[in-house]
Amino acid sequence: MGVQPIHITVAEDNPSDVATLREVLDQVGLDYTLTVAMDGEEARDFILKSGRYRDFPPADLIFLDMNMPKLNGLEVLREIPDSAELPLCVLTSSERERQSIEQHFGRKKVSYLTKPVNPEQLLQCLRSYSHLRPVAEKLTHH
């Protein structure tokens, strides 16, 4: 019985950061498909399943860069009802961004990745979501 690859969406406008993320996903041996949203509006549309993303399967995991054109990561989250329910890993390079996210989410624990992403961070992010924990466990035992 084939296991479905996990569907990852990355909202990131910097192609070299996307490339790094792919390398890390490959390094840890993850079976995945990747949808890339190049700016905040695309990220919002993807999460809300609107526009050209209407028929895309929902993401099992979303990497959201805080610093994007059109809408930044926080603005994306503000436009999404129930954003606290999303399987989200926030890509951030600044403490200030982190504080504004924590204000947005209140008590909810948010998973962060600092750029450049490394395998350990990635696995930690996977482990922070119960539906992805089994995936992370498999990866760590190679």
Q: Which secondary-structure segment (H or E) carries 20? A: helix 15-27
Residue 43: closest CA among 6, 11, 81, 87:
11
Q: What is the pTM of this model?
A: 0.91
Q: How far is CA 140 from the centre of its chain?
A: 19
**What is residue 122's predicted lDDT score, i.e. its pLDDT?**
93
Q: Is the pLDDT of residue 142 over 60?
A: no
- The architecture (CATH level 2) of 6-140 comes to 3-Layer(aba) Sandwich (3.40)
**What is residue 90's predicted lDDT score, i.e. its pLDDT?**
93
Q: Is the pLDDT of residue 138 over 90?
A: no
Tell me which amino acid residue 140 is. Answer: T
Q: Which residue has the higher pLDDT, 107 or 7?
A: 7
Integer Cα distance of 73 and 67 in angstroms: 6
Q: Which secondary-structure segment (H or E) carries 36? A: strand 32-37
C-beta neighbour count of 73 within 10 angstroms:
24
Residue with tokens 């539906």: 131
106-130 mean pLDDT: 89
Mean pLDDT rounded to a whole number for the chain: 91
Q: Which secondary-structure segment (H or E) carries 135? A: helix 133-140
Q: Where are the domains of the chain?
A: 6-140
**What is residue 2's predicted lDDT score, i.e. its pLDDT?**
56
pLDDT per position as a tens digit, 2-58: 568 999 999 999 999 999 999 999 999 999 999 999 999 999 999 999 999 999 989
